[in-house]
Structure 1
């Protein structure tokens, strides 16, 4: 069964790359045959899919990306397919941004919905303003599927996230398309997730601190809770009662408990410039001092409550405490840390 399946995958990829009409028959066959196959078989298939995603035109490659994303969600490895999916998603996003600009130039209005259908009328509309109007149109109508697959790959592959070059530029590109394609907005958020990065966490009251390493954290609600779980009530940590283990777990890699319990925030998180670190932001927003992002713990100005759970449910997170620092160890840091500012004036 596995040999037949892999042969069919190979035929489907070759048909997509060659724009062969056989693709329309092979794709549903492969989708049906993949149901229930063990990850070890799907792992072999994803490598071949990566080749097709990299080479096929976007209107066909996007279907390969969707299928590969489904396999990864069902336990297959992202290795070999994650980089091609992200590369094609950025390529499609670039062409889609050009398409949207050309459409506005030509019509003064909003581009057609990306879940619609290509047409000659669309090509004629943007044609005078683009060197490859057909290619741009095909990218536009494939971007939602590429974005869906890229969400899976970025969520499941820390190595992919860590290897992103020019992440802020790519996040701005994909985020700029979110008004047309919500899933591109999610790609933008995932592109800003940082992995394997050390933070310096300082307690202003005691002047002690900790070096922590984070990864896979989707927003500062998650950072806030994982810091509380790692530091509160722990030897050499902060006073207080840590969040319940099942709450910490659902901010790491577990399912959220039924009813989405409410979490209470124990601190204000403040950066080295004295500005609040808003929970709605992401760790990548935290400014660095001498190459290190600094988080300062202050007493809360008011009691914050938020529901438990990860912003990106498919992405697992990590936060480890690498070491504690006594006040005398941090004497050189505090001159670079401003007093807290309060934007609400309380």
Structure 2
């Protein structure tokens, strides 16, 4: 079985690299065969698939990225292919944005829908006066962006080493943010590129003046951060008194599945940054500003009851929060002068 699979993989990648018409027939066979192959065999084939992702025309390489993402979801190691997908996505997003800019300049209207329409001579005629010979690759990039976005979301969620290996991160985040205007899944890519791994946070309780140094990894939004903070601190030794979180909330925010009939999460605090700004649950930990090189989260009593759905924004990405140290009020005396009182929020919610 593995020999047939590897042969199909080779044929598919080769067809993509040389733009052979056989790609359309061999790709479905590869997809079907991969369903019957164990994860180690899938992992062994990913370096070859990564070459196709990186070098094939985007309209073909995008489908290889989708294949890679499916294999990773089924247990394959994301490391051999993750960087290739993320790097190519940035290139494809830049070309897709060039297509969108040219289209809007020429027509004053939105570009064609990436999935409901397809490359055409008409589309090429619209953008060619602006893009010249770059019109064809830009058009192909536009229509392949959804495939690359899908693959990138999977490898970034599954691969902490993929996330750690990202280069030119601000450039990639900007490209994802700009292209999210046209394809919403790029907003997920943007936030996955901002995920903090093995990252310290200083957590301060304003009422008791005590604090904790914690390490976070794989947390996709501040709903998840809020829940895992409660799991680590509430009704725990050397923590804070209060209502302990439902174990189902904790599991669904960590590495467990969301159990049916799990009730909504009820929040514990108003999370505030060191400048006094509210830390919105809809945001991400990377948004929290630093003080003296450390991101600071201040626990204040809740301004009102917050309720949200349990689980992780990125179900494929396990999240963790570990308490590394506990500090008394005396030990933190030098920190509090740098911590502003909570400000009134700039918006409701």
TM-score clears 0.5: yes
Does structure 2 conserve the Cα–Cα contact (< 8 Å) formed by 1:260 and 1:309?
A: no
1:89 match: 89
- Runs of 4+ aligned residues of structure 1 deviating over 6 Å after TM superposition are none
Per-residue CA distance 1:4-43 (angstroms, 9 max, x = gap): 2112211211111111122222111111111121111111
Structure 1 residue 125 corresponds to structure 2 residue 126: yes
Distance in 2 separating the partners of 1:160 and 1:335: 39
Per-residue CA distance 1:211-250 (angstroms, 9 max, x = gap): 0010111111110010000001111111113202221010
Calculate the aligned-residue CA RMSD, in Å. 1.5
Structure 1 residue 247 corresponds to structure 2 residue 249: yes
1:209 match: 211
Equivalent position SS for 2:326: strand
2:58 match: 58
Per-residue CA distance 1:139-189 (angstroms, 9 max, x = gap): 001001110111111110111222323434322321222232122222112
Could you tell me the TM-score, scaled by structure 1's length?
0.97
Distance in 1 separating the partners of 2:83 and 2:164: 12
2:282 match: 280
Distance in 1 separating the partners of 2:43 and 2:11: 17
Segment of structure 1 superposing worse, 155-164 or 82-91: 155-164
Does structure 1 conserve the Cα–Cα contact (< 8 Å) formed by 2:204 and 2:298?
A: yes
Segment of structure 1 superposing worse, 171-180 or 308-317: 171-180
Does structure 2 conserve the Cα–Cα contact (< 8 Å) formed by 1:47 and 1:79?
A: no
1:170 match: 172
Does structure 1 conserve the Cα–Cα contact (< 8 Å) formed by 2:217 and 2:320?
A: yes
Equivalent position SS for 2:60: helix
2:25 match: 25
Does structure 2 conserve the Cα–Cα contact (< 8 Å) formed by 1:106 and 1:126?
A: yes
Could you tell me the TM-score, scaled by structure 2's length?
0.96
**Residues 116-195 of structure 1 mapped to structure 2, 5 A cutoff:** 116-131=117-132, 132-195=134-197
Q: How many residues align?
A: 346
Change beyond 3 A, Cα 1:236–1:32:
same
Segment of structure 1 superposing worse, 181-190 or 136-145: 181-190
Q: 1:270 aligns with which of 253, 269, 272?
A: 272
1:100 match: 100
Equivalent position SS for 1:329: coil
Per-residue CA distance 1:59-106 (angstroms, 9 max, x = gap): 110111111111111111112111111111111101111111111111
Distance in 1 separating the partners of 2:68 and 2:14: 15
Segment of structure 1 superposing worse, 277-286 or 235-244: 235-244
Distance in 2 separating the partners of 1:239 and 1:345: 30
Distance in 2 separating the partners of 1:32 and 1:222: 36
